[in-house]
Structure 1
């Protein structure tokens, strides 16, 4: 295909190659003349015409067919060495003209169809590249805009004297910035969805560093990417559960173990966040808690059409989110 493209714009080269093909076919026919019985004047000419029709195009193939036909008429159809116009000769020439016309017609049509198909394939590939580029650019801009919005909320909170209002604005700004970070981490550098485990570790490590906590973090599962509709709510649930362990479970020591597992093996995906901290107080009900973090978690679980549970199991505080997974 590349070779054909190089000569497609060079008309002289195409006709020159057609004449070369005809000349080689004539020489080959002379070389086989004594080995062939009578009645095979076109044996080497048909392949030459077919090759020219495919590689050189319609007109060069016609030139090759014409030269080969004249050579066959003069040298290989009796009476030899003359352009006889007898009825048997005209039938032989007519047969040759019919066969090469059919060959050229179908092969040239096939070649044009293949060229058109190749052009369409390249166009679709370029469109796909443009789409991916636009998607990555849009994704990047959305993340940046979210980060700016979060920073503005936090900045606005610094000018408010009411402690509760300032704290609420700061928390809102922090969470918007978290969503921006999630958006950045959801895809790798090529724009492909990143496995949950890859960006979950980066986000949780960043959250632990920001809080000044010493956390032994273990991640299991999550080898597949999250669906784009579910990535943000699932990640927010994980992060809120992790922050809850840092703030309430580990207390002033700021150290402990956190185990994060995302089971994507079945139709229902299960995210589990365990920590060995102090755990919630007796009688604590996460379904009725007024904590902003837990309200966010319940809202995300509802958005996913899933269920969130929190409790103590074998000395661990366990936060578990169950939802029906989607496939990209």
Structure 2
């Protein structure tokens, strides 16, 4: 407590020099008041405490000034002959004794202050080090938690992707009459998944814009600038939604290239999407200026993929309309985060 008070006083020049002045004045007044009661040979009796208190609380310069003023006052008024600065052997001895005592006192006080300041600095350093260690520990724990979350997330996404690949391959090969054609179809679908994965990787798998997914999915089938038109707001899709939509677009584009609008020179496809205030997502694929459209007699894995599997990833539904003007595919669902797998 005293050291804190001394630090506050020493930090203010007015307070430190004011304290030195008051201490000297008080010591001089008390020495005069009790001069008749004090025995001879004690001229510095009241000045020693003033010098010590000033040096401790006010600092080195005020302490030295108080010591000098006290020595001169004692020499002038209280060392015979009084009211003179006479010099004699007894006076020199008395002054030397005074200088030695106050010098030692001031030196010890300053050494004590330096030790206390050094201890406080070391304590502050230790506190800072402890705070840094605590921060590093918390950061390390946070990184470990994030790493565990990322590992679980990566495992989940790998399982989802592998499940998709497994379904694509097994359904492509099932009941296939031509193994080569089935293998090529499976490879094309896996490449569509890979393109969607590349798009997601660019955003650290956090989310991918619908427009980016659409552009990457139709790019292999775009043999001219008029083939595809895309329109819709910026909408971020999480991984399973993006992969599902990419598969659906790939399947629709493949069918359009083989049988639909993209077989005709003037054929085109319009892709539109939107999100309402309730978070419901809608996507439409509309073919125009292609050959006459007929509903196929047999539905394969491509139809099952676009009408059942992909809607499951959006917790929604999809329809294919074989209109006279061209095939129309409509997908509606939710973009809410959901760990559940489509049925």
Within 1, Cα distance between the matches of 2:205 and 2:271?
25
Of residues 287, 291, 299, the one that matches 1:275 is 287
Structure 1 portions without partners, runs of 5+: 1-24, 42-68
Q: Does 1:224 align with 2:238?
A: no
Q: Is the 8 A contact 1:220 1:260 kept in 2?
A: yes
From the superposition, tell whether residues 227 and 116 of structure 1 become closer, same or farther in structure 2 (CA, over 3 Å): same
In the alignment, what sits opposite 1:238? 249
Distance 2:241 2:309 in 1: 13
User: Do 2:320 and 2:328's aligned partners in 1 also have CA atoms closer than 8 Å?
Assistant: yes
Q: RMSD between aligned alpha carbons?
A: 5.5
Residues 30 and 208 of structure 1, relative CA distance in 2, 3 Å threshold:
closer
- Secondary structure, aligned partner of 1:186: helix
Give the distance between the partners of 2:146 and 2:206, measured in 1 at CA: 12
In 2, Cα distance between the equivalents of 1:223 and 1:39?
75
Q: 2:269, 2:287 within 8 Å by CA — same for their partners in 1? A: yes
Which one of 18, 24, 30 corresponds to residue 37 of structure 1?
18
Q: Residues 134-283 of structure 1 correspond to what in structure 2 (within 5 A)?
A: 164-188=178-202, 193-209=207-223, 215-221=226-232, 223-250=234-261, 252-266=263-277, 267-278=279-290, 281=293
Aligned-pair CA distance for 1:115: 1.7
Q: 1:308 corresponds to which residue? A: 318
1:35-60 Cα deviation digits (max 9, x unpaired): 8421799xxxxxxxxxxxxxxxxxxx
Indicate the SS of the match to 1:237. helix
C-alpha deviation, 1:322, in angstroms: 1.0
Distance 2:123 2:319 in 1: 69
Report the Cα distance in structure 2 between the residues aligned to 1:179 and 1:166, rounded to whole angstroms.
Answer: 20
Alignment of 1:19-30 (within 5 A): none
Map of 2:97 onto structure 1: none
Deviations 1:260-300 (A, max 9, x none): 12323442111211221447746x38xx9513311211222
SS at 1:305's partner residue? coil
**Residue 164 and residue 234 in structure 1: after superposition, are their counterparts in 2 closer, same or farther (change >3 A)?**
same
2:328 aligned partner: 318
Change (3 A) 1:232 1:100: same
Aligned to 2:132: 115
Are the aligned partners of 1:249 and 1:277 in contact in 2 as well (CA < 8 Å)? no
Q: Please give the secondary structure, in 1, of the residue aligned with 2:132.
A: helix
Report which stretch shifted further, 178-187 or 245-254. 245-254
Q: Distance in 1 between matches of 2:21 and 2:303?
A: 90
Between structure 1 and structure 2, the one with the greater Rg is 2
Aligned residues: 253
SS of the aligned residue for 1:38 comes to helix
Q: Distance in 2 between matches of 1:101 and 1:34?
A: 24
